[in-house]
Homo-oligomer: A and B are copies of this chain.
Amino acid sequence: MTRALLVGRYQPFHKGHMQVVKQVLSECDLLIIGIGSAQCSHTGDNPFTGGERLMMISEALSEEKIPLQRYIIVPLPDTNNNSLWVSQVRALCPPFDVVYTRNPLSKRLFEEAGISVREQPLFDRRRFSGTEIRRRMIAGESWEDLVPKGVERVIRTVDGVNRLKGVIGND
């Protein structure tokens, strides 16, 4: 049985992330979705809390009828120190065999720890991007079709667009 780990910040979780999740699910038995920088919130780059992002992913995957025994979602707070990060991930996640990532630091850290790393599948980064979605929210443009319905619902529930507009002046 292959257990794969996929880590992202998911600010917010969008349709590109969903493509990646489906692709990785087709290559493994259990997918652990790690929410990176889980302790961050209320900034221009990280508007949503770890708990809100957990809700987004949970709603989005349920809406896609992905069998629930196929994945586990885990919030992962940062460490101050790169050399401790892999150990922190291992302590907070169920055991995994392989990591999917495109982040060069993450790739290097897992490889140096002797953990197998695979290239995270591509998605259309020009269309789907957290940065672009947050830019649209601030500009008052339409962003809703870039995210799954459940994610839109969570963002509305927590008044996410206004929060983002509110905190952006601080950056």
Contacts and interface: CB of A to CB of B under 8 A. Distances in A.
Contact of A58 (B83, B84, B94, B95): B94
A79 to B, nearest CB: 7
Contacts of A158: 95
Interface residues on A, range: 35 or more
Nearest to A67: B68
A62 B92 CA distance: 20
A168 B104 CA distance: 8
A109 interface: yes
Interface stretch (A38-46, A120-128, A139-147): A38-46
Contacts of A157: 95
Contacts of A58: 72, 94
A23 interface: no
A82 to B, nearest CB: 4
Interface in A76-106: 77, 79-84, 86-88, 90-95, 103-105
A80 B39 contact: yes
Contacts of A151: none
Contacts of A105: 42-43, 166-167, 169-170
B72 A75 contact: no
B92 A42 contact: no
A81 B40 contact: yes
Contact of A109 (B42, B62, B90, B92): B42
A72 B94 CA distance: 15
Nearest to A76: B75
Interface in A24-66: 38-43, 49-52, 54-55, 58, 62
